[in-house]
Amino acid sequence: MAIARVIANKNDGVKHRKIHHHVPRQYLSNDCLDRGCMAAIVLQHEISGVSSPLPSNDNYKKEQYNQDKETVNNCSAKRRKSWGSTNIGFHLTEDTFFILKIKYIVVIQIDPGKGEDAKKIQYATWDESGSSLAFVYKNDIFYKESPKSAVKRLTDSGVVNKIFNGIPDWVYQEEVLNSDHALYFSPKATFIAFIQFDDTKVNWYQFPWYGDKGNSYTSIRKIAYPKPGFSNPTVTVNVIHPETGNTVSLLEPVDFRKIDHYVINIAWASETAVIVTWLNRDQNKAVLHMCNLEQTSTSPYLRSICEENSVITVQNGWVDDKYQTPYFSKDGSYFITKWPFSQGGAGKFIHLAKIGTKGKTNPVAVTSGAWEVVTILAHDDKNEIIVKITSGELSCLTCNLATVIKGNKCSYYSASFSLGGSWYILYCRGPGIPEVTLRSTNIDKVETLEDNHALRERLDGVSLPVVESYNITSGSYDLYVKEYRPPNFDPRKKYAVLFSVYGGPASQKVVDSYGYGFETGYLVSNFDLIVVNVDARGTCCRGEKFKHEVYRHLGEYEAEDTINVAKEVAKYDYVDETKMAIWGWSYGGFLTSYVLGVNSGVFKLGMAVAPVTDWRYYDSIYTERYMLTPEKNLKGYEASSVLNKAKNFQNDSFLLVHGTGDDNVHFQNTAQLVAALTKAGVKYQVQFYTDKNHGLLGTETQKHLFRLLTDFLTTELRIK
């Protein structure tokens, strides 16, 4: 059973409300579920219904906690969990980790060594049986064969901020792995595969940190941050035998050995075979490399033999960046992954592929049509069932999914499966109030985990914004558009319009997720204002042709489509065409600024938060995926730069916001745009937030920001 997900958007639209759609998330085994919420953790046997609470977080701070009582009966595997995580950066965390044995609750703190600080452990993971543990401390990998065994150091090359073993550096975590680790046990824990990231040649981005008001001098913070055309991290894939310490480095594909490249995925096919996916720096060719490991009793060395399995090559575009971990059959003879397949004149779409593991193999399409598979959630080749949640209708290849979702009016889903695939949590994310249910793939059993009853009661009798969806043509495409109208909408009145944009490649704004936040909840409900979302060319799930339109010239078609849609919306009888505005954050801030720089006349003002203003300032992996390097596409970089359009901005029409501590989209972007606008003699407003990162987090900062945006919008558009 290979299960793929339909339309999954990172921005699921449920922020700004206390909607409890986030629990539970992680299965401990096939039949037991960790139903953790905040500090309380409950382990429930989902067949018998018996549940028992585990000690609270406070109890775990004791070095040992013994309870001479069996906590849970009939659970199939050793259970494990960690507590005490502390955020230390944009993504990276350092934790105090404990080992918890469920049968007799014993808490053993993991100690990396005498005199070392256990609170600085960066990552910890168990093997599939729950017997062995690997963790990363000061960028090196350590290993415990069992909870009571001594800690064994596996690597000694780690250097803080320079060489990372088993955990990614900033750019790999942000743009490639989307994970806090790069360390993977083989199925039976004979080997550990891991990536080493060497940032020695990567340039530092440095920025001032103002700190406490009592500091007479500022400090300087720095991060290894590769930018377009500059040196990238060097990566090496290693496999280590933790018992002997024998290690082998897996070779890159022949074509990649003399050029810059990336590692985008590692997956174990069997106990002695691992598949590594490599990507060239231009990101238009990916090679899946199958490596077989050998260690004989007569040789102390670990050896590997790698051969090319399959290749993706893309013309005038990039390899799909939603990198999929392959799902292997139990006998290791094939795997299921995502692959671009031609759908005739419509071009290529991302679908499920079945690929053999022996030698060089051509992928075989498992699904087809003018829609896309977004991700695969689980796999069980025994029943040969593939369930997919896609960009089209919810469907099933070999089963009747209507029995699974009977009575549920949702159209926007995600799911999480137990290790054995017999249980899954179905998240209904919209368009109605989210619900979370636990379901079985084998028996007709449904348990409601969260129905948001309290929220439903609070909203009973409350008039919510009116949502309308439709298409508007731009160029040769029908674009998806969504309108949020005031609850008391009167078609005889004239309303101001705010376009809320993002528009980044493979993103989405027009989805059926539930959510009434700052724009679609507060602004629409309190002012004579309509909010509009549009998915322009380059966005998700409409095929490679639609997505790759923006290749080599970010901003151009996104802006053209947004402006074309705005011109059509301005013609509606209920729209005041003199009161049209646009705003966005991050890529949305870039698009907002670009649109104002085009000066089409349709938008009277714009608000940009943390925008990219020149793609030479952003990170290499993201930017070069769509733009190549400045050396290969200088005209594209110049054309996409908002700095070159500063003279076209209208006076008193632009609010620019940024945090000085932004380690993602650097404050440099806003500083340079301020310089360009000033040089052009344009009147504008700018607001910076001291030491705040890309999310501008903090209660008071958020209050100030959204009041600022509201005041600027309502004052300049003269709306009530």
With contact defined as beta carbons under 8 Å apart, do 126 and 133 qualify? yes
Which among 512, 662, 663, 691 is annotated as catalytic? Answer: 662
- DSSP code at position 173: I
Query: Token digits for 332?
Result: 């290791």
Helix runs in 378-475, H state only: 453-459
With contact defined as beta carbons under 8 Å apart, do 484 and 499 qualify? no
694 given a catalytic annotation: yes
CA pair distance 261, 166, nearest whole angstrom: 18
CA atoms within 13 A on the CB side of 185: 22
CA pair distance 106, 712, nearest whole angstrom: 57
Reported in sequence order, the residue ranges of 212-272 that DSSP labels E, i.e. its strands, are: 219-224, 234-240, 247-250, 261-268
Which among 21, 379, 548, 694 is annotated as catalytic? Answer: 694
506: region left, alpha or beta (phi > 0 left; psi from -120 to 50 alpha):
left
Peptide bond just before 208 cis, omega within 30 deg: no
Per residue, the 3-state secondary structure of 526-574, as one string, reads: HCCEEEEEEECCCCCCCCHHHHHHHCCCCCHHHHHHHHHHHHHHHCCCC
Query: Token digits for 408?
Result: 């549920």
586 given a catalytic annotation: yes
662 given a catalytic annotation: yes
Instruction: Put the strands of the sheet holding 412-417 in their side by side order.
Output: 412-417, 423-430, 435-440, 446-450
Give every CB contact of residue 546 below 8 A, 6+ residues apart in sequence: 347, 477, 537, 538, 539
Give every CB contact of residue 272 below 8 A, 6+ residues apart in sequence: 186, 190, 191, 292, 293, 294
CA pair distance 576, 565, nearest whole angstrom: 15
Which among 186, 391, 586, 653 is annotated as catalytic? Answer: 586
C-beta atoms surrounding 17 within 10 Å? 17
CB neighbour burial string for 429-466, b if at least 16 within 10 angstroms, e if fewer: bbbbbbbbbbbbbeeeeeeebbbbeebeeeeeeeeebe
- Kindly list the catalytic residues: 586, 662, 694
